[in-house]
Structure 1
Amino acid sequence: MYVDRFYRDESGSNDLASFRVAVRETDLYIGVLPGVYSKELEQQVETLVWQLRRELEEYIKQDPVFKTTLVPHLLQPGAPPVALMMTRAANQCGVGPMAAVAGAYAETVGRELLKVSPEVIVENGGDIFLASRKKRLVGVFAGTSPFSGKLALELETSKNPLGICTSSGTVGPSFSFGRADAAIIVAENTALADAAASAAGNAVTTVDDIPKGIEAVNGIRGVYGVLIIKDDKMGAWGDIKLAPVKKKKG
């Protein structure tokens, strides 16, 4: 799943204090208001990520199917909140719960940071939790498509916070049944956006499948918009506003 990390430069986030938290496979890039940032806050986020990972890993020991299934799943009693968030999102979208893991981590960390900063960006491997009082641009990376690196999503503040996630069948290590260069979802939370991006991407093998990808998610409650890119074609539905990416001088 990729909204390429060049979005850090295009998002208008230079007004934020940025830091990175990496815990095993989880690699978070985080932006908060400068007056909020501290080494202590950074440590608190790292502790939270370790806790989320530990809780999920312990749950998977008692429910190993949770980790491997590619279809909706019934949780066992005692599941931690992060597993519940993943499962709710995935079941809405008809995919397995691990399709929402990166989004669920970003959502949980973002919600915690909102307690201390009204401006928050949390990116986890291209899956983004965004809470902002100003317009932000999120750059779009779509592999070898001619649209790649030339477009950005323009995100307003009327619906806040948001989840913005991408699934690709041609770029990166994430599993997809499809071959979309990018299936991008804007949704009411990041776990849902993550799962819906997987569902949309799974439906697209050729450019003719772009409408199928849109149809796979446009009836899901909480999904605000979808953008699908395949080769030199794209299709969009819902609350999607595109802007050109301005090349930097020099």
Structure 2
Amino acid sequence: MARRTYRALFREEDLFFFEVKVKETDLCLGVRAERFTPDLVWLVEKKVKQERALLEAYIEKDPVFLKTLQPHRPLPDAPEIAVAMAEAGAACGVGPMAAVAGAFADLVGRLLTRYSRDVIVENGGDIFLKSTRKRRVGIFAGNSPLSHRMAIEIPPDYTPLGICTSSGTVGHSLSFGRADAAVILAGTATLADAAATAVGNRVQTPADIEKALAFAREIPGVAGAVVIIGDALGVWGKVKLVPVLPPENPSP
């Protein structure tokens, strides 16, 4: 699926969207249209470069942090982003790198909330959301017949919120499961990212949906989950699904 097509799943007309890319960190950002200035692009680029430099320097000292698929205790001098990733991984039983995309979404999202009351940051399908109005985030689930058919409706009082997706059939991120989509809502995108990986890892067949949702329920800070595999769907927690109508004149 093309990146721009995916990003259409959460775009809102009242927001101004722009993109920032630094190495593998590829962000789509939305702020209130009247709050956007070119300085925000520079601020985001600066923040991402700083945090990437800190994380890369730390990984040189602690290479296990990069490679392990298990919870990992960071060194005492680890930067804030590494600590947050390690804590999220430990809470979900996965390695800290399972939370890297969500961690950058959180860092940039918190930065932008100083300038705009409504903020969306998407990083590889993982989203930080702060909003003063109801928002809808569509669900892409690969070749599942449920893909593009529904969205999660997020009331403003649920935000700030992380909304992250893991898939065993779409994209290049590592997953040991076969879920077309494991979507997690959590207090931070860092935690939601790690939890989505952990939940997705537990789904090989539709029969696994119930146990995967039960696992999500036990993670402190996780507010809701959606699991899709084929035409099977499971939902738990603070998740309101709404139908998405197909376009009247779909592109060929």
TM-score category, normalised to shorter length: over 0.9
The match for 1:114 is: 113
Q: Secondary structure at the match of 1:117?
A: coil
Which letter maps to 2:134?
A: K
Which letter maps to 1:104?
A: A
Aligned residue runs from structure 1 range 101-250, under 5 A: 101-250=100-249
CA distance in 1, matches of 2:74, 2:10: 37
Q: Secondary structure at the match of 2:13?
A: helix
Q: Secondary structure at the match of 2:192?
A: helix
The match for 2:30 is: 31
CA distance in 1, matches of 2:169, 2:126: 17
After superposition, give the CA deviation of every residue in 1:40-89 in whole Å (9 maximum; x if it has no partner).
Answer: 11011011111111110000000000000001101101100110111111
Aligned residue runs from structure 1 range 4-23, under 5 A: 6=5, 8-11=7-10, 13-23=12-22
CA RMSD of aligned residues (A): 1.4
Shift of 1:196: 0.3
Structure 1: tracts of 5 or more residues without a match:
none
Of all paired residues, the percent bearing the same amino acid is 52
Shift of 1:249: 3.5
- Conserved in 2, the CA contact under 8 Å of 1:7 and 1:138? no
Structure 2: tracts of 5 or more residues without a match:
none
Task: Tell me which of the two structures has the higher relative contact order, counting C-alpha pairs closer than 8 angstroms and 6 or more residues apart.
Answer: 1
The match for 1:46 is: 45
Aligned residue pair count? 248
After superposition, give the CA deviation of every residue in 1:83-110 in whole Å (9 maximum; x if it has no partner).
Answer: 0111111111110000000000000000
CA distance in 2, matches of 1:97, 1:163: 17
CA distance in 1, matches of 2:231, 2:55: 39
